[in-house]
Amino acid sequence: MSMESPAQTARADTDPIVEVRNLQTAFYTDKEVIRAVDGVSFDLTPGETVGIVGESGSGKSVTARSMMGLVDNPGVILAGSSIRFTHLETVREFATKFSRRTVDVEELEAEHDVRSLLERPGIDVTPAQLGYDSVESMTIADLLAAGYGDQLGLTDGDDCVFITEQSSGEVVDGFIEITRLEGKPQRAMRGGKIAMVFQDPLTSLNPVYTVGNQIKEALRLHQDLSGRAATKEAISLLEAVGIPDSRRRVAEYPHQFSGGMRQRAVIAMALACDPEVLICDEPTTALDVTIQAQILELLEELQEKRDLAIMFITHDMGVIAEVADRVNVMYAGETVETADVHTLFANPKHPYTEGLLQSIPGRQEGDRLQTIEGNVPTPNEPPTFCRFAPRCPKAFESCDSVHPVSVPVESGVDDHTAACLLYPEDVSEIDRIERHSETQSTEGEH
Ligand SMILES: Nc1ncnc2c1ncn2[C@@H]1O[C@H](COP(=O)(O)OP(=O)(O)OP(=O)(O)O)[C@@H](O)[C@H]1O
Ligand code: NI
């Protein structure tokens, strides 16, 4: 590789390209407000797989749909939520293509400071609500990302590209705020930069078009390829996902493919736009074990070749062990534990994670397969208590009145957190309770 310019070294390869912060997605139904995702934060990094695991109804798919811009009525991403796409090349591309929707944050920083903005009349938001410790740890960019720019008169409704640093006219740092995307930039992001593979390949494939034509349509939309070049590329994509005899199969219809081959075709379609991020929502759940293993292997291979950041959703701890580098355990809209995969399996801290691990065949002591009794509750009120408490074997009195926040736990590694009143383990119960009560963030706004 040639010498890198300073502009290219500003972000390292190991920096995240997606930063989800305090994501809150709620459904306003006639009956109640369902807080499907309630303050979730995590990063996605190129070449790495983040596994999202949890039982049915824990908010995994709504997290994914929020990242894809696929939350429909009556669903709303609440103010205070932020999903930043920080891939530098894409930020530069969007800043050029959508210059009218691009904001120079450095300019705004020269004119305003966070403290006085938050003190403005009518602005009813605290740093804690946005997931920050103090005003000092917040920047103007954080306020804009969390959706308060319009209210403060700093941004227009459709601004979505934020440039935070430039050097001799070149963008060095910035982000695209996914929760603010609509129209053209949204279409460029969804499918183009972030692609998704669903459980049922038939939701992504149209039965009346050949597999090849559907891949070619994606190539036309996102890569500006058509005609013979597109056909050639479609064939090579089918080859890349391990579909034998791809020259012939490119002209076949989805019903002529087996389940496993269909999912491979969907992956080929997702890759047609050369995305940076691939979100997989239970992509192998409908497949038999052998085929499942092959698809997981394929994803790993593609990740390595293309340096993809993968978010992999499953309710299956066995699959998590296979695919994930890091794991977020979700329960009733919240992340209850997060760690690298080895630590999570060797040293689980949250009673819910322990329960999930005991329900993997072959992992429990004795011969009985444990399951956690009961179901995930519908999160239909603000969290002022532990949502897992009713099912938790270790629950005590305070669990009903104090909402646990994510705190570091002792397991010998950094970046291991659990949201449980039993932690941090090295302090007294009184101090623990105080710590969890202090950092309580209040409800986001509609
Ligand atoms: N369109 C909608 N309207 C109302 N509620 C919804 C809607 N979509 C999802 N929800 C609710 O949001 C919560 C989280 O759902 P989600 O689909 O994210 O769960 P999940 O973890 O993906 O579960 P599964 O493993 O079953 O796919 C559930 O309580 C669900 O009922
Ligand atoms: Ni789901």
Q: Which ligand is nearest to the CA of 316?
A: 1
pLDDT at 128: 80
Q: Are 237 and 214 in contact (CB under 8 A)?
A: no
Protein residue with its CA nearest to atom 24 in ligand 1: 56
For the chain, first and last CA: distance in Å?
A: 48
pLDDT at 436: 94
pLDDT at 13: 61
Sign of CA dihedral 360, 369, 416, 402: positive
Pocket test for ligand 1, best of 27, 31, 320 (most atoms within 8 A of CB): 27
pLDDT at 368: 62
Residue 59 CB less than 6 A away from ligand 1:
yes
Protein residue with its CA nearest to atom 3 in ligand 1: 27
Q: Which ligand is nearest to the CA of 376?
A: 1
Rounded Cα distance between 168 and 183, Å, is: 31
Rounded Cα distance between 355 and 393, Å, is: 9
Pocket test for ligand 1, best of 56, 60, 62 (most atoms within 8 A of CB): 62
What is the residue whose two structure tokens read 């690298």?
Answer: 340
For the chain, the 3-state helix, strand and coil shares in percent, each to the nearest 5, are 40, 20, 45
Task: Give the strands of the sheet with 309-314, arranged side by side.
Answer: 194-197, 277-281, 309-314, 49-53, 326-331, 334-340, 417-418, 407-408
191 phi-psi bin (left φ>0, alpha ψ -120 to 50, beta other)? left
pLDDT at 129: 78
Atom of ligand 1 nearest to the CA of 64: 18
Residue 375 CB less than 6 A away from ligand 1:
no
Longest Cα–Cα distance in the chain: 70
Q: Are 273 and 266 in contact (CB under 8 A)?
A: no
Task: Render each residue's pLDDT in the chain as its tens digit; 446 residues.
Answer: 344 444 444 556 689 999 999 999 999 999 999 999 999 999 999 999 999 999 999 999 999 999 999 998 999 999 999 999 999 999 999 999 999 999 999 999 999 999 999 998 878 888 887 778 889 999 999 999 999 999 999 999 899 999 999 999 999 999 999 999 999 999 999 989 999 999 999 989 999 999 999 999 999 988 889 999 999 999 999 999 999 999 999 999 999 999 999 999 999 999 998 999 999 999 998 899 999 999 999 999 999 999 999 999 999 999 999 999 999 999 999 999 999 999 999 999 999 999 999 988 766 666 566 678 899 999 999 999 999 999 999 999 999 999 999 999 999 899 999 999 999 999 999 999 999 997 655 444 44
Closest CA to 409 of 319, 355, 329, 317: 329
Measured between alpha carbons, how far is residue 301 from residues 197, 261, 298, 432 in Å?
16, 16, 5, 44
C-alpha 262, offset from chain centre: 25
Q: What is the pTM of this model?
A: 0.93
Protein residue with its CA nearest to atom 5 in ligand 1: 27
Collapsed DSSP state (helix, strand, coil) of residue 282: coil
Residue 57 CB less than 6 A away from ligand 1:
yes
Rounded Cα distance between 52 and 62, Å, is: 12
Read off the amino acid at residue 356.
Answer: L
User: Residue 385 C-alpha to ligand 1 middle, in angstroms?
Assistant: 21
Non-local (6+) Cβ contacts of 336 within 8 A are 329, 330, 350, 352, 353, 388, 418, 419, 420
Asked if this assembly's ipTM is beyond 0.95, the reply is: yes
User: Residue 375 C-alpha to ligand 1 middle, in angstroms?
Assistant: 13
Q: How many helices (H) and strands (E) does the chain have?
A: 16, 15
The two structure tokens encoding residue 191:
């499918």
Atom of ligand 1 nearest to the CA of 378: 29
pLDDT at 198: 92
User: Residue 56 C-alpha to ligand 1 middle, in angstroms?
Assistant: 8
User: Residue 210 C-alpha to ligand 1 middle, in angstroms?
Assistant: 32
Residue 295 CB less than 6 A away from ligand 1:
no
User: Residue 152 C-alpha to ligand 2 middle, in angstroms?
Assistant: 36
User: Residue 165 C-alpha to ligand 2 middle, in angstroms?
Assistant: 37
Measured between alpha carbons, how far is residue 121 from residues 117, 125, 156 in Å?
9, 11, 19
User: Residue 336 C-alpha to ligand 2 middle, in angstroms?
Assistant: 17
Q: Are 60 and 52 in contact (CB under 8 A)?
A: yes
